[in-house]
Amino acid sequence: MSELRKLFGTDGIRGVAGEYPLDTKTIFATGVALGRLLGAANKPLQLLLGADTRESSAWIAAVIAEGLQSGGATVANAGVITTPGVAYLTRKHGFAAGVVISASHNPWRDNGIKIFGSDGYKLPDEFELAIEAEIFRQLEITPPVGGPFLAPAADPRFVIEYEEYLWKLFPALDLTGLRLVVDCANGAASGIAPDLFSRLGARVDVTHAAPNGRNINAHCGALHPEIVAAETLKRGADLGITFDGDADRALFADANGKVVNGDGVLLLAARDLRSRGKLNQEKVVATTMSNMGLEAALRGDGVSMLRAPVGDKYVLEWMKEHRASLGGEQSGHILFPALSTTGDGLLTALVVLDIVRRSRKLLHELTADLKVFPQVIVNVKVREKRPLEEFVTITDTIRAAEEELKDNGRVVVRYSGTEPLARVMIEAESQSRMQFHAERIAGAIREELGAVLPV
């Protein structure tokens, strides 16, 4: 990801709703900028708009719709829908772009703007930089904007069409006799997931599917997979599924109440694709955060694992470069390019359920040999994201950890692409040394870059 970017992170523009860069003027300028840049190559220009269930999503959608229209575009509105739903519909209907108002897994006060190109893929870095430049230009020349702002009325046919697409992807999938616990994170999957899995014959126990604008991701969903795991065990269900706020990722729980994360999904999907001759190049693209245990298990099957930078758009770039047919992140973003242009939690769940049904095995049996190395992640809130290499104390502390752990562990230190955080991840066989080094590195970052907390 280019260090020159000021607005776009690894997944669009994100921040606290109502504050820069999600204040009214900047949102409006973003719409104008996108409309003008796309308008040069696409006539007539029409975009698709969708949003998650946050309290702020409706007014942000209205403001950006007005900005898009000022920039020369017309806007169709899918209403509340998953992020991958917008990607699919944008590509299918030939929209010039798809815009999603969502902050994914972030708390309800945050929000964001995600943009897909007409091909259904996330925008390349170069185009995001061009949008940024135009946004800043518009901010200089645009007078203060006032309301009221109004988004086009939502067309419910878009959500229905997206659900039909998912349902028809697996025409032979029959979930009769299977009991599922489905946690919708009070997010965009709430209006789709219960009906989808029920139509396939499953007995579905739905949790956290009553969004009120402020409960999205709140002690539920993919940020807290232990919740669905406990419910799956308590209810005697066969499998648990949990989504994040915009349902572009999914995590799972087996019948024993154990969480199965993206690494587990990559393992079972890789084995299934390989058994059917569909694992291109015998390769899987994961990220720097994926566990060494996944790498070892894949190696045992004759499959090599590549590590891309964190962010599903970067995983996809590596997949294209290496012609891989499977990639994803430990957090649950899984990419099946033969089926979708982006990570889709509902699609991932269908793939997992299809493998479970065809293999006639339970989820815990399919991932039983995944031996996970102990891993700790420490998040440090930072006041700015300066290159860590500028600080001798930080680099020396990281180097000391790497020297001691060598072949028996890994050290990954990076900034979050969506929040003002530095993430310290250490993986090692020794729990005590792992914790020691993680806290030392976090302490060094906190000393040099730590945010000043309110008194």
User: 375-449 maps to which CATH number?
Assistant: 3.30.310.50
Q: Does domain 8-155 have CATH number 3.40.120.10?
A: yes
Q: Which of 176, 198, 181 is nearest to 237 (CA)?
A: 181
- Are the folds of 8-155 and 160-256 the same? yes
Q: Where are the alpha helices (DSSP H) in 367-430?
A: 392-405
Burial of 315 (0-12, 13-18, 19+ CB in 10 A): buried
Identify the weakest region by mean pLDDT among 189-198, 254-263, 291-300, 416-425: 416-425
User: 267: helix, coil or strand?
Assistant: helix
At residue 191, what is the residue type? G
For 147-192, the pLDDT digits (tens) are 899 999 999 999 999 999 999 999 999 999 999 999 999 999 999 9
Interval 264-278 mean pLDDT: 98
What was the pLDDT predicted at 455?
39
Identify the weakest region by mean pLDDT among 273-277, 330-334, 431-435: 431-435
Pairwise CA distance, residues 409 & 113, whole Å: 37
Does 236 score more than 50 pLDDT? yes
Does 44 score more than 80 pLDDT? no
Pairwise CA distance, residues 10 & 290, whole Å: 17
Q: What is the CA radius of gyration of the chain?
A: 22
237-240: long-range contacts (C-beta < 8 A, 24 or more apart)? 237/179, 237/180, 237/181, 237/205, 238/178, 238/179, 238/180, 238/362, 238/363, 239/178, 239/179, 239/180, 239/181, 239/352, 239/353, 239/356, 239/362, 239/363, 240/180, 240/181, 240/182, 240/183
Question: For the domain with range 160-256, which CATH number is right: 3.55.50.30, 2.60.40.1180, 3.30.360.10, 3.40.120.10?
Answer: 3.40.120.10
Please report, for the chain, the start and end positions of each structural domain, with discontinuous segments joined by +.
8-155, 160-256, 260-345, 375-449
**Residues tagged active-site:** 104
Alpha-carbon distances, residue 292 vs 39, 129, 303, 400, 429 (angstroms): 46, 34, 14, 20, 11
Does 56 score more than 50 pLDDT? yes
Interval 269-281 mean pLDDT: 97
For 378-419, the pLDDT digits (tens) are 999 999 999 999 999 999 999 999 999 887 789 999 998 778
For 100-153, the pLDDT digits (tens) are 999 999 999 999 999 999 999 999 889 999 999 999 999 999 888 888 999 999
Q: Are strands 179-183 and 304-308 parallel, antiparallel or unpaired?
A: unpaired
What was the pLDDT predicted at 390?
95
What was the pLDDT predicted at 3?
45
User: 260-345 maps to which CATH number?
Assistant: 3.40.120.10
In percent, the amount of the chain with pLDDT more than 70 equals 97
DSSP state of 52: -
For 3-39, the pLDDT digits (tens) are 456 899 878 999 999 999 999 999 999 999 999 999 8
What was the pLDDT predicted at 375?
87
